[in-house]
């Protein structure tokens, strides 16, 4: 059983201990607390130390818990911080701000409190005298370019007036709070830092190893900014590359990888690096032959067999290749992809769920050449197949959980060099058509935009739009017009695909609730009083603008045409039984 040293301590007891020697290691994240977190910390501490702004209301026997700090002793006997980095760093900045404020105060309480703070920030000699050259905390965070400002700030104070790092900003924030407190309670000023030192407590948890510390961390709810899954994986990579003498190379590669993913991924949960590890996980699952529709949590998957996948020599290279692949997609890189592939990516960007990203990641890692490129013809065929299947499945078998079984099957087929066919999951034509015809394509459903984006690119001359372009769903026959004129006998036609089109946001706003004869002039750029603006880049919109009338018959005809084209697409992809 792993041994733990757990004993709650006051800030003074923990920091002033002669053996206190904290290290924020390479693999940790940069310092990230801002004024909001500092304000919360200050408010909490102040309310505890001065209840209701009343000096005498404080109970000397009360304690205020600030949270835990998880560490382990590394080979240099330093307490390597796994959890609590943000809190620990901020408390050091707060103490340094108090220390500087006491510099010119000569009363006994101020001198004694300053002396206590001094022993918390700097190492002391055998006689208890602070050595101002040796701090009790150090930072080696590889991706933090401002860490030296933090260390210099602790050593000599705020001497660099041009410094603007988050460390310095937070230090100055605490200075302002301390100045305000001093003006309001000059007689009681030394009591606030004394109570912080003596009555605010932390729970230091010292594990016997890094692995144990990481496991402990994973069970705690951190009040600050918790390590992400990718931060845990970084620690494992760090150990692996340190053991083979490539630590510095790894640190450089990891920083580069973070920069790439931050520019590409907008993860709904977790960090951008978590998203990269998630997509890589599907490739590893497929290689295992794992078709289970139950997907493990990211950390649980990678920690199997002592993080075996992160100890593979090629793992970091594959992660980097995958990140660069998705960066090329985000940048719509014409040097990497043909126009046909870029068009398909644009359509898939509006897919009803993210499953296409996972299976595409598997396809890329299996089929890329040494330059990270794919065969254009085969890749086009793959993208077309998954588009048809995923879009159709969203109607006939709604919900991403239903999609897992067929997609996971095909992931395994990909790594086994088999063609993606979805052969076991072909659709019954009559049932599928009925599902589409009875489906309510409201704007709130992702598949509505998916279908209209796909349809827009069935027009031969449709140019590739930029992925960052703001596109809306336009009601050609406006909903407000229907309410005013009651022009459609069948109001359900309003929400059918036949009455909706993809349209640039600015043009959609201008078109608004106008009649069709006014809308179509806006579509082509003509404005009232003869002025002109940019027309729509959507080819179909320009074709619609050529019509003299757009009512219920036109809506029904267009709705049928969209569905007919899509079912032709399904037939071409051999997805109909």
Return per-residue pLDDT of the chain as tens, 577 residues: 456 667 899 999 999 999 999 999 887 888 999 999 999 999 999 999 988 877 677 888 899 999 889 999 988 999 999 888 999 999 999 999 999 999 888 888 889 999 999 999 999 988 888 899 999 999 988 667 789 999 999 999 988 878 789 999 999 999 999 999 999 888 888 899 999 999 999 999 988 887 777 667 666 544 444 567 898 888 888 888 888 999 888 988 998 999 999 999 986 667 899 999 999 999 999 999 999 998 888 988 998 898 999 999 899 999 999 999 999 999 999 999 999 999 999 999 999 999 999 999 999 999 999 999 999 999 999 999 999 999 999 999 987 789 999 999 999 999 999 999 999 999 999 999 999 999 999 999 999 999 999 999 999 899 999 999 999 999 998 877 766 666 676 778 888 999 999 999 999 988 877 888 888 889 998 765 556 688 999 999 999 999 998 988 999 999 999 999 999 999 999 999 8
Question: Which three-class secondary structure string do you get for 197-241?
Answer: HHHEEEEEEEECCHHHHHHHHHCCCCCCCCCCHHHHHHHHHHHHH
CA 516/CA 544 separation, integer angstroms: 10
Separation of alpha carbons 562 and 448, rounded Å: 12
In whole angstroms, what is the distance from residue 98 CA to residue 192 CA?
10
Only one residue has tokens 């401002």, namely 146
What SS3 state is found at 89?
Answer: helix
pLDDT of residue 348: 98
Q: What is the pLDDT of residue 347?
A: 97
Q: Residue 532 has what pLDDT?
A: 67
pTM (2 decimals)?
0.74
Q: How crowded is residue 363: how many other Cβ atoms within 10 Å of its Cβ?
A: 23
- Give the integer Cα–Cα distance in Å for 446 and 394: 9
d(C-alpha 480, C-alpha 41), whole Å:
51
Beta strands 471-475; 500-504: pairing state: antiparallel
Q: Are strands 64-73 and 200-207 parallel, antiparallel or unpaired?
A: parallel
Is residue 277 classed as helix, strand or coil in its secondary structure?
helix
Q: What are phi and psi of 374, to 5 degrees?
A: -120, 155
Looking up tokens 């450089």 gives 252
- Helix 355-367 and helix 272-288, axial crossing angle in degrees, nearest 10: 60
- C-alpha dist (Å) from residue 534 to 57, 289, 423, 559: 68, 52, 46, 27
Which residues have CB under 8 Å from 25's CB, separation 6+?
74, 80, 81, 140, 141, 235, 238
Confidence (pLDDT) at 222: 43
How is the chain split into domains, by residue range? 4-218, 229-418, 446-572
């Amino acid at each position: 059983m792993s041994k733990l040293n757990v004993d709650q301590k006051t800030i003074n007891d923990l920091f002033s201990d002669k053996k206190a020697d904290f290290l924020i290691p390479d693999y940790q994240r940069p310092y990230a607390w801002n004024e909001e977190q500092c304000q919360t910390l200050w408010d909490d501490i102040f309310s505890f130390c001065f209840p209701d702004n009343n000096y005498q209301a404080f109970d000397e026997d009360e304690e205020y818990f600030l949270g835990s700090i998880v560490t382990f002793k590394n080979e240099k006997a330093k307490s390597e911080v796994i959890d609590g980095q943000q809190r620990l760093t901020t408390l050091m900045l707060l103490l340094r701000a108090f220390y500087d404020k006491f510099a010119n105060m000569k009363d006994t309480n101020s001198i004694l409190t300053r002396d206590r703070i001094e022993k918390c920030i700097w190492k002391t000699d055998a006689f208890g005298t602070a050595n101002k050259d040796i701090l009790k905390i150090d930072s080696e965070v590889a991706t933090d370019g401002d860490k030296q400002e933090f260390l210099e700030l602790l050593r000599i104070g705020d001497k660099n007036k041009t410094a603007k790092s988050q460390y310095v900003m937070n230090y100055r924030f605490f200075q302002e709070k301390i100045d305000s407190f001093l003006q309001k309670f000059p007689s009681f000023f030394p009591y606030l830092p004394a109570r912080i030192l003596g009555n605010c407590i932390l729970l230091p948890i010292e594990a016997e190893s890094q692995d144990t510390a990481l496991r402990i961390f994973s069970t705690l709810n951190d009040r600050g900014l918790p390590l992400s899954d990718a931060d845990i994986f970084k620690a494992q990579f760090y150990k692996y590359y340190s053991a083979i003498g490539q630590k510095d190379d790894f640190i450089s590669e990891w920083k580069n990888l973070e920069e790439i993913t931050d520019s590409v991924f907008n993860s709904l949960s977790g960090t951008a690096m978590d998203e990269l590890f998630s997509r890589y996980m599907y490739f590893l699952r497929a290689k295992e032959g794992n078709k289970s529709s139950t997907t493990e949590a990211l950390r649980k998957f990678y920690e199997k067999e002592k993080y075996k996948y992160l100890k593979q020599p090629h793992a970091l290279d594959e992660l980097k290749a995958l990140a660069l692949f998705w960066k090329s997609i985000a940048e719509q890189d014409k040097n990497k992809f043909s126009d046909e592939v870029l068009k398909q990516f644009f359509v898939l960007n509006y897919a009803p769920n993210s499953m296409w990203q996972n299976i595409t990641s598997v396809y890329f890692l299996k089929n890329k050449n040494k330059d990270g490129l794919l065969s254009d013809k085969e890749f086009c065929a793959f993208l077309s197949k998954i588009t048809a299947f995923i879009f159709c499945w969203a109607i006939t078998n709604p919900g991403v959980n239903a999609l897992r079984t067929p997609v996971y099957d095909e992931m395994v087929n990909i790594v086994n060099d088999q063609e993606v066919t979805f052969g076991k999951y072909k659709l019954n034509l009559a049932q599928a058509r009925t599902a589409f015809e009875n489906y309510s394509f409201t704007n709130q459903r992702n598949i509505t935009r998916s279908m209209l984006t796909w349809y827009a690119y069935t027009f031969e001359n449709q140019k590739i739009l930029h992925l960052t372009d703001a596109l809306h769903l336009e009601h050609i026959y406006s909903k407000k017009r229907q309410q005013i004129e009651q022009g459609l006998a069948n109001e359900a036609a309003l929400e059918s695909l036949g009455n909706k089109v993809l349209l640039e946001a600015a043009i959609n706003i201008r078109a608004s609730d106008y009649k069709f004869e006014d809308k179509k002039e806006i579509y082509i750029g003509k404005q009232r009083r003869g002025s002109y603006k940019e027309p729509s880049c959507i080819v179909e919109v320009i074709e619609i603008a050529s019509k003299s009338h757009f009512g219920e018959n036109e809506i029904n005809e267009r709705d049928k045409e969209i569905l007919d084209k899509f079912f032709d697409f399904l037939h071409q992809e051999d997805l109909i039984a």
